[in-house]
Amino acid sequence: MISSENRSDFSASCSSISEEARAKINLALHVTGQRPDGYHLLDMLVTFTDHGDRLDFMPSPTDEFTLSGRFGETLAGDGGTNLVLKARDLLREAIGPLAFPVRIQLEKNLPVASGIGGGSADAAATLRGLVRLWGTSLPEEALAALALKLGADVPMCLASRPLIARGIGEKIEPVPELPVLAMVLANPLKGVSTPEVFRQLATKNNPALSLPPSRPLAADWLAAIAAARNDLEPPARELVPEIAAISAMLQANGALLTRMSGSGATCFGIFANMAAAEDAAAALHDARPDWYFQATETVSGGA
């Protein structure tokens, strides 16, 4: 470990490192069963958006953690429960003396507990950023195992590219052919309890995700996504009626397809192009300035 006498010199000589924590979008989420330990078995088609949180890392005499961004204050009382800090500590334990103190700045642009993996994406970005800052490397399998300890969504956020995830989320298959999608993320900024959504789920042994073997065109993908579903959306709509309202608003403003992501309450609308998505987001914001609307693009499968 770097001595206290040398830390200030080291900090001055080492530039900061940044990582994007992209929003995770469940284009489809099928609940296919439940394990004896209570974890639900899922089939998910997942992509990630250009829009998300941002984390900056730099050496520091002592560990520091600061928050900014639209939703930063929401996490201000999080203390040691924040997944960023858990990821830092877990990685430090794994790599040992190379893990000098670090200042972490989280710019929180995504709504908290909103079904788009904000906390999981932040944890994954912390793992990626600190591996770079600390100048170390871990085998891919070891890093994925650390990610899974932080939560079932963290391994897919570590990949942060289009994929199919099965099991509790740990069995990941890349989907490089998934195209870029223009979309609007929409959230009424009303909390929905993930455990309660699962408790309200009527059937927990639903048909698995099935995608056509060949999907070369964007239009084919749109049809394939439309034929899938989010099994958590019906119970979430019962708990938070605003989910139905916000989905209807997306449709009324030109969305080709709308669906809830994860356990909610964020919904997404897929649009023909970014200009249409930006126009829709502006109109929706004018109609409900107290809600969250964000036009964005997803990353390409080959990113």
Instruction: Considering the candidates 108, 153, 204, 290, report the single residue annotated as catalytic.
Output: 153
In 207-291 the beta strands, taken as DSSP E runs, fall at 257-260, 267-271
Active site (annotated) includes residue 24: yes
Annotated catalytic residue within 24, 86, 108, 231: 24
Q: Is 153 a catalytic residue?
A: yes
Q: Is residue 299 left, alpha or beta, with left meaning phi > 0 and alpha meaning psi from -120 to 50? A: beta
- The rounded distance, in Å, linking the Cα atoms of 175 and 54 is 25
The region that residue 279 occupies, defined by phi over 0 for left and psi between -120 and 50 for alpha, beta otherwise, is alpha
3-state SS assignment for residue 50: strand
User: Angle at the Cα of 2 (from 134 to 104), degrees rounded to 5?
Assistant: 45
**N- to C-terminal Cα distance for the chain?**
35
Classify 222 as helix, strand or coil.
helix
Residues noted as catalytic: 24, 153
